């Protein structure tokens, strides 16, 4: 896993730098950063939202039907449902100049693809965090795959099928997509922090269990709670 994460950073260095610069532009312009995903990609969304050390400008594009805990088989059905992704974006307060991340290991299901397409129609810059290997080999369930409808593509390098440990007898385990996607997000946060060094402080959450956290976070709640209802 350590070798894989090192390879992810090296392979994506130029696009990570470019996306971090765009993140800073959005934050400085008081824009929002939307995050979206389905199935287990929701774990990557959760890492982005209301997280110690994370950005307060993050708006999760979420529906309970997409969560496996709401029903594993039904959540798989929902992420393949045409027009559902478009509907989610149409109800979000996205405007031209905002930024959106779409996390999808396969990049082939209608919901994440439609989310990316609809955001771009609104003038939002879209970043895909996906496995290019899996996406290339998986059958498309939408007219286009995710890499065809985004502005920036970050490749998690996860092999086709996600599970990477060969336990023999046809058994594979140890899925990498969640770990790789979360690592990508943290690489972006560190790049963003370096770019912002010396300027106005970034709107970053403080862990609730450290001194002065309540006062710091209260200011962020007051600033963003009306724009981000999940807060």
Q: How would you class 165 by CB atoms within 10 Å of its CB: exposed for 0-12, middle for 13-18, buried for 19 or more?
A: exposed
**Predicted local confidence at residue 181, as pLDDT:** 96
Cross-strand bridge partners of residue 126: 100
Q: What is the mean pLDDT of each run of 10 residues along the chain (231 residues)?
A: 95 98 98 94 94 97 85 84 90 96 94 96 98 93 94 97 89 93 98 96 93 90 95 94
**Predicted local confidence at residue 70, as pLDDT:** 82
pLDDT one-digit tens code per residue, 70-120: 888 888 878 888 888 999 999 999 999 999 999 999 999 999 999 999 999
Give the domains, in start order, of the chain with CATH numbers. Answer: 2-224 (3.40.50.10490)
Residue with tokens 């979000």: 92
Cross-strand bridge partners of residue 172: 166
**At CB < 8 A and 24+ separation, what contacts does 14-17 make?**
15/152, 15/153, 15/154, 16/154, 16/184, 16/187, 16/188, 16/191, 17/191
CA dihedral 191, 220, 87, 108 (to 10 degrees): 20
**Predicted local confidence at residue 170, as pLDDT:** 86
**Predicted local confidence at residue 54, as pLDDT:** 97
């Amino acid at each position: 896993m350590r070798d894989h994460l090192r390879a992810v950073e090296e392979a994506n260095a130029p696009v990570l730098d470019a996306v971090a610069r765009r993140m800073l532009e959005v934050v400085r312009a008081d824009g929002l950063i939307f995050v979206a995903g389905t199935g287990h990609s929701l774990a990557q969304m959760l890492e982005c939202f209301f997280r110690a050390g994370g950005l307060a400008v993050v708006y999760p594009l979420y529906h309970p039907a997409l969560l496996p805990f709401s029903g594993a088989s039904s959540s798989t059905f929902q992420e393949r449902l045409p027009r559902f992704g478009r509907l989610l974006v149409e109800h979000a307060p996205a405007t031209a100049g905002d930024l959106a991340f779409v996390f999808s290991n396969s990049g082939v299901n209608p919901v994440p693809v439609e989310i990316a397409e609809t955001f771009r129609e609104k003038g939002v810059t879209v970043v895909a965090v996906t496995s290019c290997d899996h996406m290339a080999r998986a059958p498309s369930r939408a007219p286009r795959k995710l890499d065809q409808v985004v502005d920036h593509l970050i490749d998690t390098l996860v092999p086709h099928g996600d599970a990477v440990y060969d336990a023999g007898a046809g058994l594979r385990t140890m899925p990498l997509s969640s770990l790789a996607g979360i690592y990508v997000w943290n690489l972006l946060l560190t790049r963003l922090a370096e770019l912002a060094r010396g300027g106005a402080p970034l709107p970053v959450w403080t862990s609730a269990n450290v001194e002065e956290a309540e006062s710091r976070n209260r200011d962020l709640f007051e600033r963003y709670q009306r724009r981000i209802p999940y807060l």
